[in-house]
């Protein structure tokens, strides 16, 4: 019977350690959820402030950029066709 009581005591000790670990992990989950909510809020704020390159420039600048890009594409096409 002595061995059974020792095993029972050991089992209770281990169960207590597991309970403590579970409590710690649950607290960590709560803390991480709070941090996640804060980070999601910051991300949404940053997304709201973010503008793309085309909304930051005027229509005339956009057209000029488009013409420059088309000119570069034409030069590349000409260069490639000359090589063939």
The answer to whether the pTM exceeds 0.85 is: no
Q: Do residues 28 and 66 both lie within one domain?
A: no
CA gap 35, 41 in Å, rounded: 10
pLDDT digits (tens, 9 = 90+) for 7-21: 999 999 999 999 999
Same domain, 41 and 22: yes
38 and 57 together in one domain: no
- The torsion defined by the Cα of 21, 22, 24 and 29, in degrees rounded to 10, comes to 140
Do 11 and 22 reside in the same domain of the chain? yes
The verdict on 12 and 40 lying in the same domain is: yes
User: The domain containing residue 84 runs over which residues?
Assistant: 53-84
Q: Assess whether 68 and 41 both reside in one domain.
A: no
20-70 pLDDT per residue, tens? 999 999 999 999 999 999 999 999 888 877 776 667 778 888 899 999 999
Residues 11 and 38 in one domain: yes
Q: Is 50 within 8 Å of 42 (Cβ atoms)?
A: no
Question: In this structure, are 64 and 44 located in the same domain?
Answer: no
């Amino acid at each position: 019977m002595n061995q059974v009581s020792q095993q029972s005591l050991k089992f209770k000790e281990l169960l207590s350690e597991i309970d403590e670990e579970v409590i710690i992990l649950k607290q960590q989950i709560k803390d991480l959820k709070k941090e996640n909510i804060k980070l999601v809020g910051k991300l949404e704020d940053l997304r709201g402030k973010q503008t793309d390159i085309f909304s930051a420039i005027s229509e005339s600048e956009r057209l000029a950029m488009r013409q420059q890009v088309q000119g570069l594409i034409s030069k590349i096409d000409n260069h490639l066709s000359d090589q063939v």
